[in-house]
Structure formats: structure tokens, C-alpha cells
């Protein structure tokens, strides 16, 4: 019987995409996916260390795997991958004897051979070397989303924002050749996925190493031109690198979703400076004005950190004020968590009380919820093209999808439409999603996927 694997993923899209690569590498070795860890022969925990809580999840998960092994009498190979693996390395093996393999963010391709040697020798193996290689064999990653493909364009980051561990865990910035990216996009389109999401820490810093004329906006145009690709997204751009050429591409290119996730982190110039973000509140807000002027209908979203060291009530009030002005379609917010090795972790005491961080994040989320409801109410009656990507979480007779602006829409439609773009009229909304009715006809439903 074929051996089974199970991958548990924490963290960002980059990590979820790494898990697609891990799954593909293991399937190439003949392993098959298991729906639960209990009957897996290989259990991979793909970790995130961006915030402390994310890291704690590894230890909870390892405890559960140990417990399961005791209950079932099985002895799976336990692999720790991702940013915690990269950062903690040998320390993980000392801390937890149930780990068989530690594989870093840059050594994923070594995973099959690491598993083989751990199985042979029955003692733990580790590879957390900083490989510079950004190649990955075409067609091996196993897409986990029925509608969209994730394609990495840049690995690592050179920005060194003072709070962020990524430059230490994912290494320095390395660009993938545009030829590799376009080949991967072509493969995704040929396998029926009509949306591609380009991934990187600062995607808009992209410059093709194999073609001097291909900057990020040119790459977007080339990706959008690939046969079968109907939608292109990317995450995340850095506000300081949004060029005129990128804005022009967003305006001109119909396949390019009119949505920008532009993490601002704070509305206070004093905090932005100690965060080393290298833009001011005024420059950021000007950029939003320019985007809204030149790309009508663009949806914006952001990330905020509350309780960064030294953040006063006045600093936080400035963040609240920025949120009021920016009117984002969505916002991700985090309590600051001091990360080992980062500039802020070394230099600034984590001095905002936990209770104050909680108070601030609650106030922030309440404000954003009110703004979101207003924006959603204003969308009633509009028709949006929705890419259907799954069954609704709450009601299993509904499917769910996303507008080009990245807002979730639930709609009554057959599950056979998953993976297709359907016109939907917005009829209602909840706190985090819209509700709509499909305007697609049965005839459209019968057209072949690629005609859409
Ligand atoms: N503490 C809290 N939030 C953080 N983020 C990154 N590092 C930290 C940290 N040390 C948040 C930022 C980033 C998002 C991916 O995670 O908002 O944009
Ligand atoms: Fe981290 Fe800043 Fe790089 Fe984003 S740009 S990954 S926040 S260092």
C-alpha cells in the first residue's frame, strides 16, 4: 500500500505555496495525501515565525502528533519545515525528540532525500543551509486551490523592517527568471486554473534576472497575456515601490485585478520611522489618492501592527485616523510580537502592555468593521465578476468566490461552477462578505472552461 503524507500549514500564502511544493515533491516519491494525520507515514508541519503565536502553534501541533502516535501505535516520520525550522535549526531537535527532519525554507527540494535518510538511519537529519537557488521543477507543485495558482516571483527580502523576521528566515532577496515564471503560469492555465497570484515579500521590486526590459509591471502584462489566464493578482507590494508604470498597468490591463494590498503598519510617522518603513503617513495617503484617481474602482487593503515599542495613545490615534481616511475594503491587524534577531527585538523593549495592545486592536477592528459595512452597503445592486473557488463555509448549498477587489461573495450556484468566473449581482452583505445572485445562464455554464 502506498505510503501517506499529511501537511499542516501555518502562516502566510508563501507558506501555503511551499506546502503545495512539499506535497508535489512527496507525491513524486510515490506518497499519497492523507486527509488526517492519524494514518500518515510522513507528517510535515510547515511553520511560521512572523509572530510569537504562530510559532507556539508548532509546539501544540508536535504535542498532538506525539499523542496520536501513542494512541495509534504508529511511528510517523515527523518533519518540521518553514521559518521556525530555518531559524531554530538544531535547537528544535534538542527541544523535541519526536522530530525526525528539520528542513529550512531554502532547502525544500532536499526534503525527499532527507526523509529517506531519516528513515534509514532512524536518527534526525537537518538541512537549513541558505541555498541561493530559486528554481523549482515545473509541474511538480500540487495546486491546493481549485481556482487559482500561486507562483513565486521573488524569494527573501532585503528591506529589514525593524519588526520583521522574514529577511532572517527567508534570506536575502532573489528574483526568479521571468522565463520560469511564465512557464509556470502557462502550466497553471493549461491545467484549467484561470487566476494566478504572484507571490513575493516585495513583489513590486521585481526585476527579471534574465531580461533587463522586464520589471514588475512588464511581468504583470506578460503574465496577463498568457493564454487561458483571466485574472492576475499579487501580494504583497511595498508602498515605497509603487511606480507609475505599475499604476498604468493596473489601469490598462483588464486581467489585472483592481486591488492592492498595501501594508501601512502604522499611521504615526514616529513609529513608521522606528519600524524602518521608509515612507511617511503623508506620502502613503498621497499614494492612495493617486491610485484612486488613476484606477477608478480600485479596492485597497492593509496590514496594521498595534503596540509596537514606544507606541503612545497619540501614535495609535494617528493610526485610527489613517484608517478613517483610507477606507480600506479589508484590514489585517496584529499585536506587535518581539521577534528574535530583529532590530526592534534587540533594540526596543516590548513596552506596550498586553492589555493596551488588546484595547487598541479591538478599537481598530471595530472601526474597520464599520467602514467595511458602509463600503459593502454601497455595493448593493452592482454586478461583479466573481471567481468561484469553493463551497460556502456556512451554507453548503452555496458556493463562494471573490470579486476582482478580493471581497468574498456567497452565491447560490452549482458546485460545478467552482473554478469559473461568473457575473454576480450583489444583493446583501455580512460583516466580512457579500451575498449575491448569479447572472450566469445555463448556456454559459455549458461552455468549455477555456472559453471564459
Ligand atoms: N509582530 C506583529 N506583526 C508582525 N507582522 C510582521 N512582523 C510582525 C511582528 N513582529 C505583520 C505585519 C506584516 C504581516 C505579514 O505580519 O503587519 O505585514
Ligand atoms: Fe518583512 Fe518589511 Fe520585508 Fe515585508 S518588507 S517581509 S515586513 S522586512
DSSP string, 287-337: HHHHHHHHSTT-EEEEEEEES-TT--HHHHHHHHHHHHHH--SEEEEEE--
pLDDT of residue 397: 84
Assess contact for 173 and 157: CB atoms under 8 A: yes
Contacts of 37 (CB under 8 A, 6+ apart): 6, 8, 43, 64, 65, 68, 76
- The mean pLDDT value of the chain amounts to 94
- Residue among 56, 305, 360 to mutate when testing ligand 1 (max atoms within 8 A of CB): 305
Determine which residue's CA is closest to atom 5 belonging to ligand 1.
Answer: 50
d(CA 108, CA 18): 8
Strands 4-9 and 42-47: parallel
Assess contact for 70 and 77: CB atoms under 8 A: no
Asked whether 301 lines ligand 1 (CB < 6 A), one says no
Asked whether 164 lines ligand 1 (CB < 6 A), one says yes
User: Which tens digit of pLDDT belongs to each residue from 62-86?
Assistant: 999 989 988 988 889 999 999 999 9
Asked whether 99 lines ligand 2 (CB < 6 A), one says no
Asked whether 203 lines ligand 2 (CB < 6 A), one says no
Determine which residue's CA is closest to atom 16 belonging to ligand 1.
Answer: 50
d(CA 273, CA 303): 17
Q: Where residue 446 falls among pLDDT bands split at 50, 70, 90? A: very low
pLDDT of residue 13: 92
Asked whether 337 lines ligand 1 (CB < 6 A), one says yes
**Whether residue 449 has pLDDT greater than 80:** no
Determine which residue's CA is closest to atom 7 belonging to ligand 1.
Answer: 164
Please tell me the number of the ligand nearest to residue 161's CA. 2
Asked whether 14 lines ligand 1 (CB < 6 A), one says no
Determine which residue's CA is closest to atom 1 belonging to ligand 2.
Answer: 164
d(CA 235, CA 203): 7
Asked whether 308 lines ligand 1 (CB < 6 A), one says no
Asked whether 163 lines ligand 1 (CB < 6 A), one says yes
Angle at 162 between CA 90 and CA 104, to 5 degrees: 25
pLDDT of residue 445: 47
Determine which residue's CA is closest to atom 13 belonging to ligand 1.
Answer: 303
Q: How many CB atoms are located within 10 Å of the residue 49 CB?
A: 25
Asked whether 277 lines ligand 1 (CB < 6 A), one says no
Strands 299-306 and 330-335: parallel
Asked whether 78 lines ligand 2 (CB < 6 A), one says no
Rounded to the nearest angstrom, the distance between the alpha carbon of 166 and the centre of ligand 2 is: 6
- Give the number of residues written for the chain: 452
- Residue among 12, 49, 155, 166 to mutate when testing ligand 2 (max atoms within 8 A of CB): 166
pLDDT of residue 444: 52
Asked whether 170 lines ligand 2 (CB < 6 A), one says no
Mean pLDDT is lowest, of 122-126, 193-197, 224-228, 394-398, for 394-398
The reported pTM is 0.94
Contacts of 307 (CB under 8 A, 6+ apart): 335, 336, 352, 356, 357, 360, 361
User: Which tens digit of pLDDT belongs to each residue from 313-333?
Assistant: 999 999 999 999 999 999 999
**Whether residue 54 has pLDDT greater than 80:** no
Asked whether 339 lines ligand 1 (CB < 6 A), one says yes
Q: Where residue 394 falls among pLDDT bands split at 50, 70, 90? A: confident
Amino acid at each position: 500500500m502506498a505510503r501517506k503524507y499529511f501537511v499542516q500549514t501555518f502562516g502566510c500564502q508563501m507558506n501555503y505555496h511551499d506546502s503545495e511544493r512539499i506535497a508535489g515533491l512527496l507525491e513524486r516519491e510515490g506518497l499519497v495525501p492523507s486527509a488526517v494525520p492519524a494514518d500518515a507515514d510522513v507528517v510535515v508541519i510547515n511553520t511560521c515565525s512572523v509572530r510569537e503565536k504562530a510559532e507556539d502553534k508548532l509546539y501544540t501541533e508536535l504535542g498532538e502528533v506525539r499523542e496520536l502516535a501513542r494512541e495509534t501505535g504508529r511511528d510517523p516520520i515527523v518533519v518540521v519545515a518553514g521559518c521556525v525550522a530555518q531559524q531554530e535549526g538544531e535547537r528544535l531537535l534538542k527541544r523535541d525528540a519526536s522530530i525526525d527532519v528539520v528542513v529550512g525554507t531554502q532547502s525544500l527540494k532536499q526534503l525527499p532525500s532527507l526523509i529517506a535518510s531519516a528513515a534509514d538511519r532512524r536518527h534526525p537529519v537537518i538541512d537549513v543551509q541558505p541555498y541561493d537557488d530559486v528554481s523549482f521543477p515545473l509541474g511538480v507543485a500540487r495546486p491546493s486551490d481549485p481556482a487559482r495558482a500561486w507562483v513565486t516571483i521573488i524569494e527573501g527580502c532585503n528591506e529589514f523592517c525593524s519588526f520583521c523576521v522574514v529577511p532572517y528566515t527567508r534570506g536575502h532577496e532573489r528574483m526568479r527568471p521571468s522565463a520560469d515564471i511564465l512557464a509556470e503560469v502557462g502550466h497553471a492555465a493549461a491545467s484549467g486554473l484561470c487566476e494566478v497570484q504572484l507571490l513575493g515579500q516585495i513583489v513590486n521590486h521585481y526585476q527579471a534576472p534574465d531580461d533587463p526590459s522586464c520589471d514588475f509591471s512588464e511581468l504583470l502584462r506578460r503574465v496577463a497575456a498568457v493564454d487561458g489566464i483571466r485574472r492576475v493578482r499579487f501580494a504583497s507590494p511595498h508602498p515605497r515601490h509603487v511606480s507609475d508604470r505599475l499604476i498604468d498597468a493596473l489601469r490598462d490591463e483588464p486581467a489585472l485585478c483592481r486591488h492592492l494590498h498595501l501594508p501601512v503598519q502604522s499611521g504615526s510617522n514616529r513609529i513608521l520611522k522606528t519600524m524602518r518603513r521608509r515612507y511617511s503617513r503623508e506620502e502613503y495617503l498621497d499614494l492612495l489618492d493617486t491610485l484612486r484617481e488613476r484606477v477608478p474602482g480600485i479596492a485597497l487593503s492593509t496590514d496594521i501592527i498595534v503596540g509596537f515599542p514606544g507606541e503612545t495613545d497619540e501614535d495609535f490615534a494617528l493610526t485610527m485616523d489613517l484608517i478613517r481616511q483610507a477606507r480600506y475594503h479589508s484590514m489585517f491587524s496584529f499585536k506587535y510580537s518581539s521577534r528574535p534577531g530583529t532590530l526592534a527585538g534587540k533594540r526596543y523593549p516590548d513596552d506596550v502592555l498586553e492589555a493596551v495592545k488588546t484595547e487598541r486592536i479591538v478599537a481598530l477592528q471595530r472601526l474597520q468593521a464599520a467602514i467595511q459595512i458602509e463600503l459593502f452597503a454601497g455595493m448593493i445592486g452592482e454586478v461583479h465578476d466573481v471567481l468561484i473557488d469553493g463551497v460556502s463555509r456556512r451554507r453548503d448549498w452555496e458556493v463562494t468566490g471573490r470579486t476582482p477587489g478580493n471581497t468574498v461573495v456567497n452565491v447560490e450556484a452549482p458546485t460545478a461552477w467552482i473554478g469559473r468566473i461568473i457575473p454576480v449581482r450583489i444583493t446583501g452583505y455580512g460583516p466580512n462578505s457579500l451575498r449575491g445572485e448569479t447572472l450566469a445562464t445555463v448556456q454559459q455554464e455549458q461552455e468549455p472552461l477555456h472559453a471564459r
